[in-house]
Amino acid sequence: MPHVSRLIFLLAGTGFTLGLAPRATAQTRDLTPKYSNEFLNIGVGGRALGMANVQVGLVGDATSGYWNPAGLLNQKHKYDAVLMHSELFSGIVKNDYAAFSMPLDEQSALGASLIRTGVDNIADTRNLINEYGYIQYDRIQYFSVADYAVLLSYARRIGSIEGLKVGANGKIIYRNYGRFANAWGFGIDAGAQYDKGDWHLGLTARDITTTFNAWSINADEFKDVAAVGDKVPTNSTEITLPRFVLGVGRSFKLPGQLTALVATDLEITTDGQRNTLVSSKAASIDPKAGVELGFRDLVFLRGGIGNFQKMEAAKSFDNKGGWRGQPTLGVGVALSGLRLDMALSRLALDKQGGGNANSIIVSLGYGIK
């Protein structure tokens, strides 16, 4: 029976747990790895996830603390709260989110957000066989691999420029791998929004000062199970490089009390060459597009596409290969301050990942005037 600590080494080396572990088995440690703190880029809120995460220029509720803190000044209610639960990879990974926001005065607002992404009830079977050579199931221990983030947000209007708002996040990160390892991290995000008529522009700079994760490793847990040639990991520091998202959107009024909102975001990463439509060693750009149709601001239908990647024919699930995007769909209902949003996201996995998987995301928001 495979030992669970071998699994932990696999998770650490490949970044399965959303690409967030230190490179325990690498011969030379990269302090600025790709996909560092990637759990913070999954997305939150049923509205956003139904639109392929296109939100930087549009967001205007408690989720602004995540997407663009400047959007806190767009919320329609005095107090706003959002809760979300989603499950990824057939329910293996749980993703939970809670946020609250409120104005300080007519020119400023603040918010707080909490994110947890994790895999729970992982079996540690290292002591499954007792000293007599028999299987003893009550010796199995369970642990979780989880990532946490707290975001404290502030936004303010720029009085000299009508329609311009700016904001910032201070974030605290805690990541825990059971008894094996844990890390604390700190960072800052910044954002801006500008509204001109029916046009909505936004810019978010995440980890603008870089975000530092300081890892503390319990080396004793690895010594007895490390494979030959593998180094036991040691305490280290991991740095998350900045990520920029530029968004533009336009709203339309249609006949019959219908409205439409069309938007696109360009997500720019600086942590090395990625499998995106625009890719280079200096930066990679991943475009996304989303649309929202509304009826009397009560019922909404949403769709989007993003996360474009080039698949090899031999590794794609349909043996065709080429460029693939991840489509999303969503619906929403808003009534008396209560908002219920659902999103369906289809993950196109390769053969080794096991085919297709659908993720259903539900978020609940409530605004108090």
DSSP secondary structure, 22-73, as one string: --TT-SS--SS-TTTTGGGGS--SHHHHHTTT--TTT--STTHHHH-GGGGG
Please name the residues in contact with 61: beta carbons below 8 A apart, sequence gap of 6 or more. Answer: 45, 71, 74, 75, 76, 80, 82, 101, 339, 365, 367
Q: Which burial class, exposed, middle or buried, applies to 138 when counting CB atoms under 10 A from its CB (0-12, 13-18, 19+)?
A: exposed
Q: Which residues of 272-300 are buried (b: 16+ CB within 10 A; e: fewer)?
A: bebebeeeeeebbbbbbbbbbbbeeeeeb
- Over its length of 369 residues, how does the chain's per-residue pLDDT go in tens digits? 333 333 333 333 333 333 333 333 333 456 888 888 999 999 999 999 999 999 999 999 999 999 999 999 999 889 999 999 988 877 889 999 999 999 999 899 999 999 999 999 999 888 888 888 888 888 888 999 999 999 999 999 998 888 999 999 999 999 999 888 999 999 999 999 999 999 999 999 999 999 989 999 988 887 766 665 677 788 889 999 999 999 999 999 999 899 999 999 999 999 889 989 998 988 999 999 999 999 999 999 999 999 988 887 766 666 777 888 889 999 999 998 899 999 987 644 444 444 445 677 889 888 887
Task: State whether the Cα torsion 342-325-348-32 is positive or negative.
Answer: negative
- For residue 332, the model assigns a pLDDT of 95
Of the candidate CATH numbers 2.40.160.40, 3.90.320.10, 2.60.120.380, 2.40.30.10, the domain formed by 4-368 belongs to: 2.40.160.40
- Contacts by 197-200 with C-beta closer than 8 Å and gap 24+? 198/250, 198/251, 198/252, 199/248, 199/249, 199/250, 200/57, 200/58, 200/247, 200/248, 200/249, 200/250, 200/251, 200/263
Q: Which of 261, 355, 348 is nearest to 301 (CA)?
A: 261
List the helix and strand counts (H, then E) for the chain.
4, 17
pLDDT at residue 342, as a whole number = 92
Spatial separation of the C-alpha atoms in residues 150 and 45, rounded to whole Å: 16
| pLDDT of res. 317 | 63
Query: Residue 265: its pLDDT value, please?
Result: 97
Domain boundaries, given as residue ranges, for the chain: 4-368
Residue 178: both structure tokens together: 């059971």
